[in-house]
Amino acid sequence: MMRELIVDFASKQQRQLLSRPWLWISLIVISLLVSAGDLFAADGLQRIKYNNPGLIVDLGVGLWAWPVPYDVDGDGDHDLIVVCPDKPYNGTYLFENTAGPNEKMPVFKAARRLGAGKHYAMPSYVDGKLRVLTPGAEHPHFLKTGLDIGMKLPLAANIHTTVVGKTPGLFKVRHNQWRYLDFDGDDALDLVVAVEDWPDYVWDDAWDANGHWTNGPLHGLVYIVRNVGSTDAPNSTRHNSTRHFWLRIAELR
């Protein structure tokens, strides 16, 4: 191809131009982009198909999927709602179980999007009913609108103030999961908040040439936020490290 072009563009200036590396790099990039265009539909990306044409795939969402199992339609079997905070499949999706309550390996209907997706959507099951929390909020209309409508709880979205790393004041919260639980058995719902903090771990690329981990451990804690009021009129008191009501649940290297 290069030889044909040089014959066609016979002048000295044209030959000098064609001999420049940046020109050929630019042409190669343009060629690749044009070829890649065949992989995309007119309205966006095309999904990669599974290699097995006979495979039945019931459900799937993107990265950081948060599952919420519940009998949404009241027919006796567990449907599945999955919250995905990532891209390009951000959303809260309902997969209806069509197999019935006694099927161990059910097939689900295609997803129906309920609303947007966020991190750390956690189910609580209170008196047989589903209640869904994200940090600092409850979502009372979750079964209809997903996480789009939130009712703020009387607490900050991040209650983690316990220093667990080597550097005072440094926090790198990666998980922040909230659930209801009657922790002390007084018929008033308390809150359980699980937190993962990475101030020492930093990230997962800290191995030396000999395979030794050079950063610190992961830190995991559980906070109990005790309700000193009632379920209908909550009044919360956080149990913190000075009163020994948090638990360090994980230190992974």
pLDDT of residue 33: 47
- For the segment 76-135, what is each residue's pLDDT rounded down to a tens digit? 999 999 999 998 889 999 999 988 888 888 888 889 999 999 999 999 999 999 999 999
Kindly report which listed range (19-23, 138-142, 173-177) carries the lowest average pLDDT score.
19-23
Beta-sheet strands, E only, within the chain: 40-41, 44-45, 66-70, 79-84, 91-95, 112-115, 122-126, 129-134, 137-138, 151-152, 173-181, 190-197, 219-227, 236-238, 246-250
pLDDT of residue 13: 52
Name the more confident of 221 and 18.
221
Nearest to 202, CA basis, from 212, 192, 214, 191: 214
Q: How many CA atoms lie within 13 A of 155 on its CB side?
A: 25
Do residues 214 and 206 touch, judged by C-beta distance below 8 A? yes
Does the pLDDT of residue 252 top 70, yes or no? no
* Distances 32 to 18, 25, 46 between C-alpha atoms, Å: 19, 11, 18
- For the segment 16-43, what is each residue's pLDDT rounded down to a tens digit? 544 555 545 555 544 544 444 554 555 6
pLDDT mean over 139-156 = 96
Does the pLDDT of residue 203 top 60, yes or no? yes
Do residues 174 and 197 touch, judged by C-beta distance below 8 A? yes
Does the pLDDT of residue 191 top 50, yes or no? yes
- Answer yes or no: pTM beyond 0.85: no
Task: Enter the tokens of residue 57.
Answer: 């795939």
pLDDT mean over 213-234 = 88
